[in-house]
Structure 1
Amino acid sequence: MAEMKRRDFLKTVSATGMAVCTPAIVTNKAYADLTPVGRYFVFLHLGGGWDPTSFCDPKGNITRGSIDPDTRNSGSRVNKFCSAAIRKVADVALEDNVDADMVYAPYRGTFNEGDMDQPGTPATNTGVTIEHVRRMLAGSPDGTDPSLLRADLSDGFDWATAKSDSAEQIRANAEGILEGRLTTVEFDTLADAMVGVTRNGTQMDADRFVYDAFCCLYGSKVRILNGVDNRTNGHDTGTRFADTGSMDMAYPDFSALYAAVKGADRPLAYITDGGGNDETAGLVPRSSASDVNVFNTLADPEGDYLDGGMKGLVEQAKQRRRQLLSVKESLPRRDRLQSQLYMVRDEGLAFSGVATRLANPTDPAEIELNDAANNGRQRQMRIGAAAMSTGMASSMQIGFGGFDTHNDHDNRHFFRIRDVLVDLHYLWRTLSVYGIDGQTTVALGSDFGRTPWYNSGEGKDHWAVTSYVLMGQDVSGGTVVNATDPLVGARNVQVSGSTLTPVDEEQSGSIRITPAHLHRGLRSIAGISNHDFSLTFPIEAEDIPVFG
């Protein structure tokens, strides 16, 4: 077997244009500046168009025609749960500073579809109630089965007292649900009052309470923007608008723009898994970092990587690349960078040190994160947080799929939102372990929303109006802008200081929120609004307090 050391391997494979390692930008410096930038951004894109009414903008199941006799699909309903089943975040949040009108949907299987709202007569919720949720969150793990959570059955149960006396237990229970350590909830006699829910005797699967656990832990940290008009129901255009703030195909995603401003020559400047729009405009290379085996390779300076057959293939690829270089060298630098592959780049001893730490963590909290990562998104989040904390990266973009639910919507869509919340919890844990949670802003968006009615296949189709979830530094947590009407039409907002108040469309001076406003806000809090790169790709929108 031919022996090839790490640096020779990296140089050889780089020359082929293969994805493991390739130099992205030629500079006069031997190495990039690895001083941490101190301010970080993570953008989560929910591909396919998510349905906010299945989470953060629920409406209930009164027929659409009861609200507006002239509306299309008048016999359909926005949701299959009644309005009384909708839960208030303030009723479960550990912290008290939460808007009273911040609400969330009940998860599939926890509501009774037979509870039907009627005009002027809201239905009574006979499924899981907020009392059940609170007693579940305040419960205790079983003494012999740590995966079983027993709801609090005590007489005179009081949620305020439980939060005061048992906050750490409530937190541990919510974390256990989000992290999959708690798998079953025992409601015992409380289950007698539950009708039409998915349960096994007196027990229910704990993952049906992920919404509740997330709102318990993060309700005071998130800001919800309901009623953002993406102005399209086309996937490509909607994705572009959501991620860049413009429908122009040439615009870079915000995460890429920020990474370019903060140093495109950082080893993993812009980390992306290819989800979302994923456009760099040639300003910065893309770096994919979900496979820790790549870091094992980079961290081992004496590894042998290629046998003779593989080396021959590499040599053939190198020859082909030499033939192409003469053509590509005539292209502008930006155009050359646009075509680069995903990469992880060698950056000397500093990079190897971080790679070793990632591949073989010794800190207990980092070991726990490593062991807990159970999908590629979470692995990318862990590597990204470590890279940002050590100056190797400044931003990250993560994509989620499966939201284009044109059929069987409820059975498929709730499950996907649950996955997002589980991963968002993992992301926040990771940012905290690496000490940058107080310096990071997270934005979650999608191509567009989904129709406020069901089609003949029990699915929901494309709808321009959607919602964004914001979290972290510079975000006024525990707040919501409810800028949708009962049929999920977008409402305008009136700006008053740091407040956005929904108003009638014809009100003078009011504004319809679009992704352009979000991206102007992102550039502002990032401190890059006046940078040359930002001015090259201007955002045409008013400055409004999207972050509160």
Structure 2
Amino acid sequence: MYMKIVQSKEYIMLRRDFLKYTSVFAAMALFPNTLKAATYTGPLWVFVQASGGWDPTSLCDPKGYLDEDLDSNLNPTSTAMNKSFANADIAASTSAPAIKYAPIRGRDDNNVDYDFATFFDKYGSELLVVNGIDTQTNGHDAGRRYMMSGKLSEGYPAISALIAGISMPSSPLAFITGGGYDETFGVVAGTRLSNMNAINELAFVNKRNETTTYVSESDFDRLTQARASRTKRTIEKQKLESIKKLAQQYGLAHSGSNELEKLVEFLPTDVTTHPDRNNTVFSQGRFAMAGYKAGLTSSVNIQIGGFDTHGNHDASHIPRLARLLKGVDLLKQEAENQGISNDVIFVIGSEFGRTPGYNGGNGKDHWSVSSMMFMGKGIQGGRVIGSSTHRHDANKLNATTLVEDENGINITYAHINKAMRKLASIENNELITQYYPLSGAIEDLNLFT
């Protein structure tokens, strides 16, 4: 019996590792069960955050160098918006000519060139580009928070968390996050599982190896039943509704292995061998797609870093953009392979942009104008909304027609979050209207259709 107790501690440690990733916040107790939908039939939301502040002028709001930016040797000077391509060489998507992009390429994670044309020509007809976004900050934390919540101030959950919390509150894998702004404030249990190799261990916590277990199956069942009974007793004896709900969430967090076992059935067999497994966007997105197919996941945060290029901008930044684009490309193909290509929404952005021209270290600094890209279910593609000047200052647009208008408004992340809430059909949910409303002064822009 003593040996069995020691072995059980190994099991408990594994379980503790799982709980460390799946956290349930005390604030969940504030929200009544009536706010929660029972079944999720919507799309998988994939939020890709380019952490550090990307350069839209080297991507989907292209600004190349002009003749006047060249020195006597025909080299672009530091005043040039970009040194990697000329303004005259800016390309248009073959599938959607309205979408312009930087005609450059970068090295992917396998040290292979990836042409930006590959992405924009293939997906232009599906892609909505929003340029000239006024980020209202050039600070990393505030920018990430604003992009993902629609609020500059603290205290608002990411929209990815809101979607999961409203749509799938009882699933411990509803919201998967690889980083970026992923605050939940208790509306959902955020799950961080970056190590794909650990999934089997977490799903089958009593398995020592393929043939043996830590404790006998009968003892394992007794442990599981005893924990469930103890939790049930705790719930029943509580007088305070808030404590009772916390105990219920505690029980939910401990029920995760059953869901993980279900998830494993949908994980691709080449998770550890796929040639692009080191692409962060692809690997994290694949996990979320498996969760979605298993009926467990509604949203995922994917973070790819390396964009804060204050020095050596072109050599460092362009490969990061290439890896991001290739990762989304791979995920689009994966969705097709998994039969869910019409059930995924991609939201791609960064906390702010980069300055016009280059600093003394051949880098670019923080700039409060940026872009975002969207594609997927419910989004009319092949379009560009918003614009910026040659020096990447935001142009105003008309809130009704969405065309450039000097008497119009600056589009902000608050506008975009309001539109995303509408697309997700959560804008009238009580959790939104009572606890996390956006300002009524924010115009209702018809961005996606």
TM-score, with length taken from structure 2: 0.78
Partner of 1:530: 428
Q: 1:384 and 2:288 equivalent?
A: yes
Task: Compute the displacement of 1:494 (Å).
Answer: 1.4
More displaced 10-residue stretch of structure 1: 463-472 or 278-287: 278-287
In structure 2, do the counterparts of structure 1 residues 179 and 8 end up closer, same or farther at CA, with 3 Å as the change threshold? same
Partner of 1:325: none
8 A Cα contact 1:389 1:435, kept in partner: no
Q: Cα RMSD over matched residues?
A: 4.0
In structure 2, do the counterparts of structure 1 residues 542 and 8 end up closer, same or farther at CA, with 3 Å as the change threshold? farther
Q: 1:514 and 2:412 equivalent?
A: yes
Q: For residue 374 of structure 1, give the secondary structure of its aligned residue in structure 2.
A: coil
Q: 1:355 and 2:264 equivalent?
A: yes
Q: 1:76 and 2:79 equivalent?
A: yes
Counterpart code for 2:417: H
CA distance in 2 between partners of 1:357 and 1:11 (Å): 26
Partner of 1:39: 43
Partner of 2:313: 409
Task: Compute the displacement of 1:480 (Å).
Answer: 1.0
CA distance in 2 between partners of 1:33 and 1:3 (Å): 42
Deviations 1:481-532 (A, max 9, x none): 2410111110111144xx521122xx2xx22100011100100010000112
8 A Cα contact 1:211 1:421, kept in partner: yes
Q: 1:448 and 2:352 equivalent?
A: yes
Task: Compute the displacement of 1:264 (Å).
Answer: 2.4
In structure 2, do the counterparts of structure 1 residues 89 and 179 end up closer, same or farther at CA, with 3 Å as the change threshold? farther
Q: 1:247 and 2:152 equivalent?
A: yes
Deviations 1:308-330 (A, max 9, x none): xxxxxxxxxxxxxxxxxxxxxx9
Q: For residue 76 of structure 1, give the secondary structure of its aligned residue in structure 2.
A: coil
Q: How is 1:180-329 mapped onto 2 (pairs within 5 angstroms)? A: 207=113, 209-274=114-179, 276-300=180-204, 302-304=206-208
More displaced 10-residue stretch of structure 1: 222-231 or 261-270: 261-270
Q: For residue 534 of structure 1, give the secondary structure of its aligned residue in structure 2.
A: helix
Partner of 1:502: 404
Q: How is 1:415-494 mapped onto 2 (pairs within 5 angstroms)? A: 415-494=319-398
8 A Cα contact 1:89 1:216, kept in partner: yes
Q: For residue 278 of structure 2, give the secondary structure of its aligned residue in structure 1.
A: coil
Partner of 1:312: none
8 A Cα contact 2:46 2:301, kept in partner: yes
Task: Compute the displacement of 1:534 (Å).
Answer: 1.2
Task: Compute the displacement of 1:279 (Å).
Answer: 0.8
Which protein has greater RCO, CA pairs closer than 8 Å, 6+ apart? 2
CA distance in 2 between partners of 1:524 and 1:271 (Å): 22
CA distance in 1 between partners of 2:176 and 2:91 (Å): 36
Q: How is 1:20-35 mapped onto 2 (pairs within 5 angstroms)? A: none
8 A Cα contact 1:224 1:468, kept in partner: yes
8 A Cα contact 2:92 2:101, kept in partner: yes
Task: Compute the displacement of 1:254 (Å).
Answer: 0.4
In structure 2, do the counterparts of structure 1 residues 523 and 21 end up closer, same or farther at CA, with 3 Å as the change threshold? closer
CA distance in 1 between partners of 2:122 and 2:288 (Å): 23
Task: Compute the displacement of 1:258 (Å).
Answer: 0.7
CA distance in 2 between partners of 1:243 and 1:33 (Å): 22
8 A Cα contact 1:55 1:105, kept in partner: yes
CA distance in 1 between partners of 2:60 and 2:280 (Å): 26
Task: Compute the displacement of 1:104 (Å).
Answer: 0.9
Overall identity of the aligned pairs, in %: 32
Q: For residue 315 of structure 2, give the secondary structure of its aligned residue in structure 1.
A: helix
Counterpart code for 1:105: A
Task: Compute the displacement of 1:438 (Å).
Answer: 1.1
8 A Cα contact 1:267 1:345, kept in partner: no
CA distance in 2 between partners of 1:106 and 1:425 (Å): 17
In structure 2, do the counterparts of structure 1 residues 432 and 454 end up closer, same or farther at CA, with 3 Å as the change threshold? same
In structure 2, do the counterparts of structure 1 residues 23 and 539 end up closer, same or farther at CA, with 3 Å as the change threshold? closer
Partner of 1:539: 438
CA distance in 2 between partners of 1:42 and 1:344 (Å): 23
Deviations 1:5-28 (A, max 9, x none): 99986656556885266677799x
In structure 2, do the counterparts of structure 1 residues 433 and 16 end up closer, same or farther at CA, with 3 Å as the change threshold? closer
Task: Compute the displacement of 1:385 (Å).
Answer: 0.6
Counterpart code for 1:304: R
Partner of 2:90: 86
CA distance in 2 between partners of 1:282 and 1:514 (Å): 26
Task: Compute the displacement of 1:41 (Å).
Answer: 1.1
Deviations 1:408-443 (A, max 9, x none): 111111011001001111221222233332122111
Counterpart code for 2:82: N
Task: Compute the displacement of 1:379 (Å).
Answer: 2.4
CA distance in 2 between partners of 1:38 and 1:253 (Å): 18
CA distance in 1 between partners of 2:7 and 2:383 (Å): 50
Larger radius of gyration: 1
CA distance in 2 between partners of 1:16 and 1:411 (Å): 39
8 A Cα contact 2:129 2:373, kept in partner: yes
In structure 2, do the counterparts of structure 1 residues 245 and 33 end up closer, same or farther at CA, with 3 Å as the change threshold? closer
Partner of 1:189: none
